[in-house]
Chain A
Amino acid sequence: MRYLNKHVYRLLKQNRGYTILLFLMVVLTSFMYFFVEFSVDRNQVRIQEYAETQHLEDFRFQLQEDTDRSRVLEKIHTEAIIEEKRFKKVTQISTNYYLLAPPQMLNVPYLLEGRLPVASTEVALMLQYMDNHALTIGDSITIGNHNLTIVGSMFLPDYQSFIPFNDLKQDYNQATFGVVTPDVYHMINGQEERYYAAQFKPGVDSGSAELRLSSDPAFSYLAFDSGLESSTEPLTAIDSNQSLAHSFLFLFTLITLFIFYMFYTRFIRLHRQDLGCFKALGYTARQISYAPLVYSLILSTAGGLVGMVLGFFGSSVLIQMYAQMYSFPFWERGLELRSILFGLWIPVIGTVLVTWMGIFPFLRQETFYVMHNTIKPLPNGRLTAAFQSVIGLLPETLRLPLRVVLRKWNAIFLSATAIFLMTLLFIMSASLYQSSGVALESQTAGMNYMYDIRYPDLREDEVTSHSSSMYYLRQSIQLRGVEGQKFSVELIGMDDQGTQVQLMNHDNTLILPSELDGIVVSEATRWLYGIQSGDTVQLIINHQPHNVSVREISQNGEADTIYTSKTQLARWMNVSPSMHNGEYSNGGPLDSNARVVTAENKLATLRSDAVSSQSSAVINQVAGILVGFLLIYLVILLNVQDSHKDMHILRLLGYSHRDINRMLVDVYKPLFVLLYMLVIPFAILAARAILHMISLQTGDYIPFQIHWWVLILILILILLQYQLVVTLFKRKVFKQTQGMELADSLGTY
């Protein structure tokens, strides 16, 4: 057994180039999985623990203006702890401060360093903001007219994603929550938001309580914790990244297994006489398979471990990104045992199984067949014959290269996989890159206002204001699509007296909602929920259903938003058509109770999303280049190894290195171009579906974009990669054929 294994190992080691590639594929598979998994695993548990011990909020609400507040609160109090939450937004130069008095029961700030303020000169700020501005405890900042000393750095458990109540998502570079003492809170002027946070008391059946609360008309706003983006976004993000890790593992494992299978079928073809000789000497198939199985086991285990180690270091990039994006104090890099087993065992078991499948059935044949080349012709004999006939019609210079290309179905399959993956990843990358601009453009075009002012109550329109303002009614509603699925969207009833917001259809014609009996859906909303012009959808407004027709799709407008006329929405809301609860304005807000979103802030948020899309685009490009390079390398490697004898013969016949390269090495270009043409529709469909899925998961508008020049650029990129690999091989082939000449001259080859 010792010498049997020794010999088989040596045969396996002869394929050094291929072995390195197998190893790299396992490393890549493992790395892509562990890179994400290290940043996800422990944090899933940690975030859930944080929610249970620190967050404590089960739902939040606001009450209707005309409701008997004390009666409703008293009723809720029987089954839940309630705490009123207030914060003031103070905008100063380029920073938004969201100030709050120290919470008492729910969502108590988690202090990392220092303490909460106890004096009117003190403040505690978010850690990320302090880090980004190099602030430390003891430093002073000025908010309004108040000079405050920082006494603590903190996290707010109910705002793990920085989306302040009723406001746009904020960036820790330009915004922070700040806890101040109640007297400072009262003294500082700012736009105030109020709502109630609540936690079910022990013993309350939260499921039935939620149902009861949902049907209560006393609430103007009611959201349960599972639906609050500000607290669920980090968990959603890491859950979605974990799905991505599993998809990576599955996809890359399949490719790796295919390459392992090819390796062993080729190994058998090359060494069948040696393997047959072992059988003739009386070694069993199991004994002969032992070395290849151990070889695969070692290769895949080592590759898996190296990938895991690289993933450990690589995951710090993701952890840092999470730490910048989300406010959570316990980001930790780590793995659960099940993830280690999953990430290592799947590729390891897969490779061992594929090795067994590649070798064992072959060795179980009668020894005579193992030793002698009695491979039956492939079942696609007719197809091959048809190809050969077509090739026969081509010019002589093309015949040999094409025959070389078509002689191996597995190389063609591998080429198709490489081209498909590269095309898919590059299309996704280009689409992500362009979509950020398109999303920005579509959500800002036709928006000619400086302030979006939202009032906590309904107000009478003032005719004199129409030159600088455009009134609207805004209502959060539920939309039931054609297939019955429900989405939460904003419905805006627009006044047609102003020009501050102008919706345009795809023919660049102005849409006037007042002239339409129905609704207008923005392109962003259409992309997300698949609503088409002419569809009839159901709007649930204040618990009342209304069936309406989608009249237009506007090329601009906000995501998750649909539009109608103000008169129409007033009718649905049962209010006077001369009332409004918001305005798009070019003049500053006069009412301190109004909540103001500046166009500049909105733009900053959209730009921040654009940067995130562009970073994803870069990741896709890198993945495309890596996968493409490895697979193209493998295709050419297989071809060169199998053409060794042909090269020798051609060299003996006096062909130059250049001719040999042209005839046997650089032969895949036409196939790659053809495959590229074939895979484009499939890659486009797949990229579109993936982007749509990401859009739905993240709620971001990531429209699919593709231009003809992008397709040409992708082809050029693929051919450049191919050329690079071929150049590497040309050198190798030159050395090999040189070696052959030397061997010939010595008569030992």
Chain B
Amino acid sequence: MNIAISVQNVTKHFKKNEMILSEISLDLAEGEFTAIIGPSGSGKSTLLNLMSGLLRPSNGHVFINDRDITELNEDALADFRRLHLGHIFQHYHLLSHLTVRENIYIGLSGTGEPHTVEELAALLGIEDILNQFPGQLSGGQQQRVAIARALIKRPRILFCDEATGALDEMNSKNVIALLHLARQQYGVTIVFITHNPEIAKTAQRVITIKNGSIYQDRLNEYPITAAQMHWA
């Protein structure tokens, strides 16, 4: 098993006595769909941000494909993210002044062999809206565009922060299904933050965070499909 992400003794505190994460260590395998769950304020988003290089740990190291990203300076870290990592956010963060096509293009890293917009648009079912602006799209469409933006550069790892948090059941299921499809087709490693246990059931591995520590880390031997999810 190849290790995609290795988190070693990572601690994070924002203020002096406010510990968000404490001595976290874990390894995530390449091509795996990992769900990180936990109650609000448990530190799961902070862990994702530390793994994706959006935050720096107070102590400890994060290795991505054997590269210690905590040692990189801000520019080198940005380059690394641009080349190897993809992000999907809860509120999509599409750029309102760019069309869908341009929003997808902006995710390109400039190296490697990227997907074509048309290929991703076909996969995600957004061929008809490529020339529209984000303001003209529904939430589900916007998140699909965000997935396309994250995938176009063929990232090794895709970080999804509550990626279905702002969507209804139907759209959430579609997004989860698309992410699994992308993982299968392109071999991308996916780290998915959610507070929804149904989504976690589709993952191959589920890590539960509580009070800044790993409460549970288990492999899901029988993951369900997106269509099988029961929405509360």
Residues of A within 8 A of B (CB): 3-4, 6-7, 10-11, 273-274, 276-277, 279-286, 364, 366-368, 371
Contacts and interface: CB of A to CB of B under 8 A. Distances in A.
Nearest to A367: B54
Interface string B121-150: 000000000000000000000000000010
B63 interface: no
**Among B54, B81, B83, residue most surrounded by chain A Cβ atoms (within 10 Å):** B54
Contact of B97 (A6, A273, A281, A368): A6
Interface in B97-137: 97-98, 102-103, 105-107, 109
Interface in B79-109: 79-83, 85, 87, 89, 91, 93, 95-98, 102-103, 105-107, 109
B54 A366 contact: yes
Nearest to A1: B110
B85 A282 contact: yes
Nearest to B87: A280
A366 B55 contact: yes
B98 A3 contact: yes
B106 A4 contact: yes
A488 B93 CA distance: 75
A10 B55 CA distance: 28
**Among A10, A285, A286, A368, residue most surrounded by chain B Cβ atoms (within 10 Å):** A368
A277 B105 CA distance: 14
A7 B98 contact: yes
A277 B93 contact: yes
Contacts of A277: 89, 93, 95
B107 A281 contact: yes
Contacts of B103: 3
Contacts of A281: 81-82, 87, 106-107, 149
Interface in B45-67: 49, 52-56
A285 B54 CA distance: 13
B221 interface: no
A367 B85 CA distance: 14
B74 interface: yes
22 contacts: A3-B103, A3-B106, A4-B106, A6-B98, A6-B102, A7-B95, A274-B93, A279-B54, A279-B78, A280-B52, A280-B54, A280-B87, A281-B87, A281-B106, A281-B107, A283-B78, A284-B74, A284-B79, A285-B75, A285-B78, A366-B54, A367-B54
Contacts of A6: 97-98, 102
Contacts of A366: 54-56, 74
A368 B81 contact: no
A274 B105 CA distance: 16
Contacts of B80: 282
Nearest to A364: B74
A7 B53 CA distance: 24
A286 B55 contact: no
Interface string B182-195: 00000000000000
**Among B55, B97, B103, residue most surrounded by chain A Cβ atoms (within 10 Å):** B97
Interface of B: 49, 52-56, 74-75, 78-83, 85, 87, 89, 91, 93, 95-98, 102-103, 105-107, 109, 149
Given A6-B102, A276-B93, A277-B95, 15 more contacts: A3-B102, A3-B105, A4-B106, A273-B91, A274-B95, A279-B78, A280-B87, A280-B93, A281-B107, A282-B82, A282-B109, A284-B78, A286-B75, A366-B54, A371-B54
**Among A6, A367, A371, residue most surrounded by chain B Cβ atoms (within 10 Å):** A367
A10 B81 CA distance: 25
**Among B55, B82, B109, residue most surrounded by chain A Cβ atoms (within 10 Å):** B82
A278 to B, nearest CB: 8
Contacts of A367: 49, 53-55
Contacts of A4: 106
Nearest to A277: B93
Contacts of B106: 3-4, 7, 281
B167 to A, nearest CB: 19
Contacts of B55: 366-368
Contacts of B49: 367-368
A273 B87 CA distance: 14
- Nearest first, the 6 A-B pairs at minimum CB distance are A282-B82, A10-B97, A282-B81, A277-B93, A367-B54, A284-B78
Contacts of A11: 97
A534 to B, nearest CB: 66
Nearest to A274: B95
Contacts of B83: 282
A282 B93 contact: no
Contacts of B98: 3, 6-7
A366 B55 CA distance: 6
B178 to A, nearest CB: 19
A279 to B, nearest CB: 6
Contacts of A273: 91, 93
A282 B79 contact: yes
B162 to A, nearest CB: 14
A715 B78 CA distance: 54
Contacts of A368: 49, 54-55
B53 to A, nearest CB: 7
A277 B146 CA distance: 11
A360 to B, nearest CB: 11
Nearest to A288: B78
Nearest to A280: B87
A284 B110 CA distance: 14
A3 B103 CA distance: 8
Contacts of B96: 274
Contacts of B89: 277, 280
Nearest to B49: A368
Contacts of A7: 95, 97-98, 102, 106
A558 to B, nearest CB: 70
B79 to A, nearest CB: 7
A4 B107 CA distance: 10
B54 A282 contact: no
A6 B103 CA distance: 11
A10 B103 CA distance: 14
A283 B97 contact: no
Nearest to B80: A282
Contacts of A279: 54, 78
**Among A3, A282, A285, residue most surrounded by chain B Cβ atoms (within 10 Å):** A282
Contacts of B87: 280-281
A280 B56 contact: no
A277 B81 CA distance: 12
Contacts of A282: 78-83, 85, 109
Nearest to A370: B54
Nearest to A286: B75
A58 B96 CA distance: 73
Contacts of B102: 3, 6-7
A11 B87 CA distance: 22
Contacts of A284: 74-75, 78-79
B67 to A, nearest CB: 14
A369 to B, nearest CB: 8
A282 B82 CA distance: 4
B171 to A, nearest CB: 19
Nearest to B135: A748
Nearest to A281: B107
